[in-house]
A and B are shown apart, each in its own frame.
Chain A
């Protein structure tokens, strides 16, 4: 079955510390993975996708097919990174082709 797992509900770090938000997936096909972010009082929006291999706001994420993981990393966290982060998997096939989301991790960056 297709599944996205984010094991941490809350992650709290100090400003300047490295941060890693974990995401594991289960999918029989070729995975397409994404990170979405929701800042306080703002809309949920795309942060980055694995096929782009880009760094957005200092965040990177590498797809590791062997470990079925797509962890989000930033070497030096900033207070403005505090937000809710969702890992998402694009599922193809049948009539259910869709994005499925993990439960989300709330990142709190303390001054």
Chain B
């Protein structure tokens, strides 16, 4: 079944550790996104990609980085986690045009202690 998957669902990690949040989709979509969802539930776009080897920064500045080596895979990496990175991270995918329906993953709730 076509879907979008995020792992892990929950992660508690110590300050200074390197982490990678995984996101994969089997929907055949070219466009993928990462949103950061604040505790107050506000959504901020932090990264997006139009396809393989395409990555762009979103509206909210983030210390994370992303890569898009395969169409279906869009991992997000934090080289050195800090408590300020504690948040929920949502991955999404869609067809290319901005008005296309975005399909979201279940999210990864990250806590940095």
Q: Chain A: residues with CB nearer than 8 A to chain B? A: 9, 32, 34, 36, 38, 43-46, 49, 51, 84, 86, 90-92, 95-101, 103-104, 106
B56:A92 contact, CB within 8 angstroms? no
Dominant secondary structure at the B interface: loop
A32:B98 contact, CB within 8 angstroms? yes
In the complex, B21 has a CB within 8 A of chain A:
no
- Cα of A45 to Cα of B102 in the assembled complex, Å: 8
Report 29 cross-chain contacts, Cβ distance below 8 Å, ordered by A residue. A32-B99, A36-B102, A43-B104, A43-B105, A43-B106, A44-B43, A44-B90, A44-B104, A45-B104, A46-B102, A49-B99, A49-B101, A86-B43, A90-B98, A91-B98, A92-B98, A95-B56, A98-B48, A98-B58, A99-B98, A99-B102, A101-B35, A101-B42, A101-B43, A103-B40, A103-B42, A104-B41, A104-B43, A106-B41
A100:B41 contact, CB within 8 angstroms? no
Distance of A103 from chain B, by nearest CB (Å): 4
User: A-B pairs with CB below 8 Å: how many?
Assistant: 53
Which residue of B is nearest A84, CB measured?
B41
- Cα of A106 to Cα of B41 in the assembled complex, Å: 9
Q: A49-B101, A104-B42 given; name 19 further pairs at CB < 8 Å.
A: A34-B99, A36-B102, A43-B104, A43-B105, A43-B106, A46-B101, A51-B99, A90-B99, A92-B98, A97-B97, A98-B45, A98-B48, A98-B98, A99-B45, A100-B45, A100-B59, A101-B42, A103-B42, A106-B41
